[in-house]
Amino acid sequence: MTVRVFKCEFCGYKFRDNPERKWERGGTKIKRGKESQSSDPQPKPSVDLECPNCHEHFTVEVEV
């Protein structure tokens, strides 16, 4: 488990976070739009991160 650098999809702010740790703790997973209607039998594990600058949420995939 390593800390990775993420760039906010909304404001472009770069920050560090560890989504794998949130996944292990049972971090929330929110699906939006077409992704929520996917018929994929094995959805990829992902968690929502909150940008510390603009406080918008976006989804990132977890490396398990």
Residue-level pLDDT at 34: 56
Residue 29 CA from chain centroid, whole number: 8
Helices (H), the chain: 19-25
Q: What is the mean pLDDT of residues 2-26?
A: 90
In this predicted model, what pLDDT tens digit does every residue of 35-64 receive, in sequence order? Answer: 555 555 667 888 899 999 999 999 998 887
List phi, psi (to 5°) of 36.
Answer: -70, -20
In a domain, 53, yes or no: yes
Number of domains in the chain: 1
pTM: predicted TM-score of the whole model, two decimal places: 0.67
Domain that includes residue 52, residue range: 28-33+42-64
In a domain, 11, yes or no: no
In a domain, 49, yes or no: yes
In a domain, 50, yes or no: yes
Question: What mean pLDDT value characterizes the chain?
Answer: 80
In a domain, 22, yes or no: no
In a domain, 54, yes or no: yes
In a domain, 21, yes or no: no
Q: How many CB atoms lie within 10 A of CB 51?
A: 20
In a domain, 48, yes or no: yes
| Cα first-last separation, the chain | 9
Contact partners, residue 28, CB within 8 Å, separation at least 6: 47, 48
The percentage of the chain sitting over the pLDDT mark of 90, rounded to a whole number, equals 41
